[in-house]
Amino acid sequence: MRELESRATAYTTLADGPDFRHELEIKRSRFITVIRRTGDEEGARALVAGLRREFHDARHHCSAFVLGPDRDIQRSSDDGEPSGTAGIPMLEALVRRETAPGVTDLSDVSAVVVRYFGGILLGAGGLVRAYSESVSSALDLAPLVRRSRLRVCSVEVAHPSAGRLENDLRAAGYVMAETSYEATNTVLRIALPDQADELRRAAERLAGMTAGSAALVPGGTEWIDVPF
């Protein structure tokens, strides 16, 4: 898979959930920004198509998206606005977004700005500022998460002990992945940095929590959402 072959081991994206919407009015023009977490170009284009149907009477549906852990897919569209005044400023607002001081790693995000013309011409410079500000203002309010490529390990424990152990692991700061329930045991899944010393420390910590009754079994790597 492309994600597992990436150079990056982490990046920032939108938290899972519904589309995030934000609206600005600039010189009587309405700029309705919709941003969505998208993992591929098909999903990004589906967002544009859906908004064209929803806002069918709007003059412009400008778009930009950046995809992949390495941010290797970047596209934009002016959709009828003067060339370079909408899509590129929107894309730059995405790729230049600082998610931490000096860090620009936002990805798997699509943005569409629907414009209803208000009768006052903004000029090229005004359009660039309006479309850039529309995306930036939406991102200021949108929930973000850290997406990391982690080694997912499993721990089998008896059903009665599973809840307490999971709470203890969470309290110790471990990232928990999906839990599964087997016929006789519960399988807890812990997402750890893919480093030998991290796995060793976690195994030792687990042994101490369970008096040696549970073992950490390393599995494959997966991309996991980690809250900031």
Q: Of 212, 165, 164, which Cα lies nearest the Cα of 190?
A: 165
pLDDT at residue 2, as a whole number: 43
Q: Are residues 152 and 209 in the same domain?
A: yes
The domain that contains 41 carries what CATH number?
3.30.230.30
Tell me, yes or no, if the pTM score tops 0.85.
yes
Residues 99 and 113 in one domain: yes
**Is the pLDDT reported for residue 84 higher than 80?**
yes
- CATH code at position 200: 3.30.70.240
Domain range for 189 is 148-226
Same domain, 191 and 133: no
Whether 191 and 222 have beta carbons less than 8 Å apart is answered as yes
7-20 average pLDDT score: 94
Domain boundary among 120, 142, 164: 142
pLDDT digits (tens, 9 = 90+) for 94-105: 999 999 999 999
- Is residue 227 very low, low, confident or very high in pLDDT (cuts 50, 70, 90)? confident
Binning pLDDT at 50, 70 and 90, where does residue 6 land?
A: confident
How far is the C-alpha of 89 from the C-alpha of 63, rounded, in Å? Answer: 10
The mean pLDDT value for 174-203 works out to: 94
Question: Domain boundary at 81, 108, 142, which?
Answer: 142
β-bridge mates for residue 23, sequence order:
32
> 80: which residues sit within 8 A by CB, 6+ positions away?
59, 60
Domain boundary among 122, 142, 162: 142
pLDDT band at 1 (very low <50, low <70, confident <90, very high): very low
Domain count, the chain: 2
- Residue 8 or residue 113, greater confidence: 113
Determine the residue type at 17: G
